[in-house]
Chain A
Amino acid sequence: MQKYKTYAAGYLFLLPWLIGFFLLYLIPFVASFYLSFTNYDLLTAPKWAGLANFKTMFTDDYRLGGSIRVTFQYVFISLPLRLSFALGLAVLLNQGMRFLGLYRTIYYIPSLLGGSVAISVLWKQVFDKEGIFNQGLALLGINGPNWIADPRYAVYSLVGLSVWQFGAVMIIFLAGLKQIPHELYEAATVDGAGPVRKFARITMPLLTPVIFFNLTITLIQSFQTFTKAFIISGGTGGPINSTLLYSLYLYIKGFTFMEMGYASAMAWLLLVIVAAFTGLLFLSSRYWVYYSDGRD
């Protein structure tokens, strides 16, 4: 009886999470799998369509290819930039300066505000033709373009926004750096190693598990980026679909064009793409990730 009571309390505390898990994850997950094989306009009952959605996706959707291309562009430019930026700052902050906590907080703020609408709106103003960014460029005598409204540059304003929100990644790097035993550096100093050598031979190898973690998490997040593109393009993905990130296109299909079946099929393609890249990362990790506890 006592035992039962203990369990009951446990389950009771778990209940909010369980309800959330079923209602917000598991049921939609299964439903979207079913819906991806139907034509569903949100208002009338879904009609079975077999593989038609997938066939359309691969053969007859003039926006999809472009949307995937833009997403790859965004992911593979922003990912290394964001990680190296975060790592660089984390190393600097790890030098044991004064007001470290304050700096950490300041750098973390953009990430706290995260994918929020307010930040995207702000960003839109910063990169406007007459925005602060171009005003800065003007001081250097450069006449900046209309970053967000020009299809050649629009995706880079998204990249910029993503890099700027490096805080969460940086905090994890910082924690990783703190884990590296100080004796190693001392020994290296005795052996006459300079800072560059120490970084390359001690910091980097010991940090690989953290890098791997950040890489995986950021990769998955980047593929799912939505809010930035939605706000900056006013929900259109324009101009000329240059900010039509995959998630945004999926949203437009589902909620603007009311093709929820098709949108579900797109969601499953995204899952496959993300899974493939994550899988590749894991496969490659055995060659470059080093665990100091003796595991290989």
Chain B
Amino acid sequence: MMNKKAVAVCMLASMMMLAACGGTNSANKPESDASQPSESASSTTPSSGKTVELRMSWWGSDARHEKTLKAIELFEKKNPGIKITGEYSGFDGYFDKLNTQLAAGNAPDLIQMGGNIKEYVDKNSLLDLTPYVGKTLNVSDFNEGVVKAATFNGKYYGVTLGVSSFGLLYNASMFEKAGVPLPTEKWTYDDYKTAAVQISQKLGKGFYGSYDLSSEPAALGSYLHSVGKELYRDGDRHFDKQDMINWFTMWEDMRKAGAVTPPDTQVANPPTAVDKSLIVKGQVAIQSAAASQIYGFQELTKDKLGLTTYPNGSAGTGMAPPESGQFMTVYSKTEHPEEAAKFIDFMVNDPDAGAILGSDRGVPASSKIRDQLAAQSTPVDKVLYDYISLVSKVAPETDNHQFPLDNEFSKLLQLTSEKIAFDANSIDKSVDEFMTEVDKLLAKAKTQ
């Protein structure tokens, strides 16, 4: 509690400082504006003589929007010739909108990307940042791995905003209330089920131990690893029908045991939407999430949230090593690549920006910023950092391959999961259809 207060005070202080700066700035503005706009612009950037305007798009929770806007404000203060307009939203519909903008040729100059960055690289939508590296854009404090993650055919396309990993996000307060021990990285799927059933029973009607994770691609990927299989590598799937039957049967058992949310409750309160998730309402104890999302979730609840790895299977842990969750990329048709690169550099290397942005997009890639944050960490930071180092420790040395046509795959998995959960089709039949469609997707990906 004390800590939370301290954070609040710090935030307040920093906001006041920013407000104070803003005050002096706006006090200066009117006179220069009043005299002549072109003159005021030229006085700020003598070189080009014009204010450069950039647009930047990202998705996330309200907490992230606030932090990002604050960082932009600070950047504009330090670089008076550049103005950045934010275009932000939740994750749903983010890429639909981006696709439309790209098609129309007016995408934002700066674009937040996820694991699907390669799709956009392949379609020539993103700018090669290699020419700016070492000049405007400094990545020398980064691990080699996170630079490699956004390098395709020797060209560097995206700067990692944070290293993260998918895993289980849990409501620790609910575990405590139910008197169930907290999950650990040693958990098996049986332990998971036992704990979830106990929580459901102890807390009574309307409370559930866990969301149904059978529709989560990341959870499925981890499960397949944990039984010695793989979702995808080098153009092919590395699992068969029986694996999927086992997967869905396991969740069916949990559903029947009352361990997980009934399907209609889950559809009405999807865990992917931070403000709808029943974790923050203290009604569901476990869900799957990208670890860095904990900031958005924690913001909405007084309950204590925690992170742990997906459960273990017969072949041990299924976790993949932490990886770049998000990248900041530049639109290939931007008119101001130099300024865009400058802003990215600011986001990942500037200590003040680092202090504002924190680890909201994952653990920062720059070791300097990481050290700085560690020195002033909040309780939530600690949960995230501990989790990332835990995953780094337990995960074997594999590189994770993203399923191609990821979007369609997720929708297909969701559909299959719903068919089974709502009892619209038997597991066997649903999985048959699933396998047929997966193979079609793989065939389609090869032709592209």
Contact = CB atoms under 8 A, between A and B. Distances in A.
Contact of B270 (A60, A146, A234): A234
Contact of A151 (B95, B268, B270, B418): B418
Given A41-B123, A43-B123, A238-B414, A255 B265 contact: no
A151 B420 CA distance: 12
A255 B433 contact: no
Interface stretch (B97-105, B155-163, B237-245): B97-105
B124 interface: yes
A257 B422 contact: no
A42 interface: yes
A238 B408 contact: no
A62 B414 contact: no
Nearest to B447: A39
A41 B408 CA distance: 14
Interface string B230-274: 000000000000000000000000000000000111111010010
Contact of A43 (B124, B265, B270): B124
A104 interface: no
Nearest to A151: B422
B67 interface: no
A260 B102 CA distance: 13
Contact of B263 (A60, A239, A257): A239
Contact of B95 (A146, A241, A256): A256
B407 interface: yes
A255 B125 contact: no
* Residue among A128, A148, A149, A260 with the highest chain B CB neighbour number at 10 A: A149
A145 interface: yes
Given A62-B433, A240-B419, A43 B102 contact: yes
B437 interface: yes
B96 interface: yes
Contacts of A44: 123-124
B217 to A, nearest CB: 15
A293 B408 CA distance: 57
Interface string A20-57: 00000000000000000000011110000000000000
Interface SS, B side: helix
A106 B95 CA distance: 39
B415 A238 contact: yes
Contacts of A198: none
Contact of A256 (B96, B102, B265, B268): B96
Contacts of B415: 238, 240-241
Interface string B118-143: 00100111000000000000000000
B233 to A, nearest CB: 23
A129 B273 CA distance: 18
B181 interface: no
B437 A62 contact: yes
Contact of A239 (B102, B407, B418): B418
B411 interface: yes
A257 B268 contact: no
A263 to B, nearest CB: 12
A239 B92 contact: no
Contacts of A202: none
A43 B273 CA distance: 28
A236 interface: yes
Interface string B382-404: 00000000000000000000000
A234 B408 CA distance: 16
A133 to B, nearest CB: 14
A150 interface: yes
B154 interface: no
A70 interface: no
B437 to A, nearest CB: 7
Contact of A240 (B100, B418, B440): B418
Interface string B200-211: 000000000000
B377 to A, nearest CB: 35
Interface string B406-417: 011001001100
A239 B100 contact: no
B267 A42 contact: no
A146 B265 contact: yes
B424 interface: yes
B251 to A, nearest CB: 16
Contact of B268 (A41, A60, A148, A255): A148
B30 interface: no
Nearest to A130: B268
A257 B407 contact: yes
A236 B414 contact: yes
A148 B125 CA distance: 38
B418 A238 contact: yes
A44 B92 CA distance: 24
Contacts of B418: 151, 238-240
State the 4 A-B residue pairs at the shortest beta-carbon distance, nearest first. Answer: A42-B103, A149-B267, A146-B264, A149-B268
Given A62-B437, A129-B265, A256-B96, 9 more contacts: A149-B263, A235-B92, A235-B93, A235-B96, A236-B411, A238-B414, A240-B418, A256-B99, A260-B103
10 contacts: A43-B99, A149-B264, A149-B265, A234-B92, A234-B273, A236-B414, A238-B418, A239-B264, A255-B100, A258-B99
Interface of B: 92-93, 95-96, 99-100, 102-103, 120, 123-125, 263-268, 270, 273, 405, 407-408, 411, 414-415, 418-419, 422, 424, 433, 437, 440
